[in-house]
Amino acid sequence: MSNDLVGVWEVALSDGVHRIEFEHGTTTGKRVICIDGKEILRRDWMFKLVGKETFCVGGSDTKATINIDAVSGFAYEYTLEINGKSLKKYMENRSKVTSTWVLNLDGTDCRVVLEKDTMDIWCNGQKMETAGEFVEDGTETHFTLGNHDCCIKAVSSGKRRDGIIHTLLVDTTEIPECME
């Protein structure tokens, strides 16, 4: 790790939680961006120390931007935006459009994410093959993890404000949703 490391962010996307690290050498003008420990961008000798760097994160190529702003004198502020929103705003919105479950199956930690708008289901970075069916009280989306039958049930809460309730069942056992 270099001592030019000025920002570290954890971003939860459908294909996993990604760690973004930003190095900014204010004496050398260096800018380096690493995602999950892999360098994806390096610029040396940037004479302009303020500005922005835009790049993609994750399997769905989500747009990310690091803004570099001068605060005072030689102090800089670094902010991360995801899809044009501040990280905080993006994560608040994301909790409305996705549901996430974390469970341990056969000794392996699994992170299951449902994208409510597309009904796509991801597990540990892989988009799952699914089969959907209409049932009496809503829909069921079936998929398998290892040798386990999984199903996400979507049932109306009966309250307009709460909308639809999504429940993950693994071998008929309900898994509690996790807040990221």
pLDDT digits (tens, 9 = 90+) for 106-165: 999 999 999 998 899 999 989 999 999 999 888 999 999 999 999 999 998 887 777 788
Same fold, 5-83 and 96-175: yes
Which pair of tokens denotes residue 84? 């044009």
Q: Is domain 5-83 in CATH 2.40.128.180, yes or no?
A: yes
Backbone angles phi, psi at 98, to 5 degrees: -135, 160
Provide the pLDDT confidence category of residue 27 given band limits of 50, 70 and 90: confident
Under a CB-based contact definition with an 8 Å cutoff, are residues 47 and 92 in contact?
A: no
Query: Cβ neighbours of residue 42 under 8 Å, at least 6 residues apart?
Result: 30, 31, 32, 33
The per-residue pLDDT for 161 is 72
What CATH number was assigned to the domain covering residues 96-175? Answer: 2.40.128.180
Inform me whether the pLDDT recorded for 172 exceeds 70. Answer: yes
Average pLDDT over all residues of the chain: 91
Mean pLDDT across 40-65: 91
